[in-house]
Amino acid sequence: MEVMKTIVFVSQKLTKRKLKEIENLVTRFKKLVNFFLDICLKYDVHSKGRLHGLAYEDSKRIIADRGIHSKYR
């Protein structure tokens, strides 16, 4: 399994505000992915349906209403 350690954005010149927002989104997405991985390892989950059942309510607290759109929101 390959682990992504760096994300490189190729785009037009970003303002500090836009760059901060992108960093915030990446950080929140990383927290969400780590949360799902922890649930999978803790409860030995192998299916998307079981993960949804275990993690749905808690994942709503991780994802704020703006920025990340997910069916787990």
Domain containing residue 38:
17-62
pLDDT at position 68 over 80: no
Whether residue 39 is contained in a domain is answered as yes
Q: What is the pLDDT of residues 5-21, one digit of tens each?
A: 776 767 677 788 888 98
The predicted model scores a pTM of 0.62
Whether residue 31 is contained in a domain is answered as yes
Cα 62 from Cα 28, distance rounded (Å)? 8
Whether residue 35 is contained in a domain is answered as yes
User: So what's the pLDDT on residue 72?
Assistant: 45
Which helix (DSSP H) or strand (DSSP E) does residue 39 occupy?
helix 16-43
Residue 38 pLDDT level (bands cut at 50, 70, 90): very high
Whether residue 11 is contained in a domain is answered as no
Domain count, the chain: 1
Whether residue 52 is contained in a domain is answered as yes
Q: What is the pLDDT of residues 46-62, one digit of tens each?
A: 998 898 888 887 777 76
Whether residue 2 is contained in a domain is answered as no
Q: Could you tell me the two tokens for 13?
A: 């010149």
Whether residue 37 is contained in a domain is answered as yes
Rounded to 5 degrees, what are φ and ψ at 2? -95, 135
Whether residue 5 is contained in a domain is answered as no
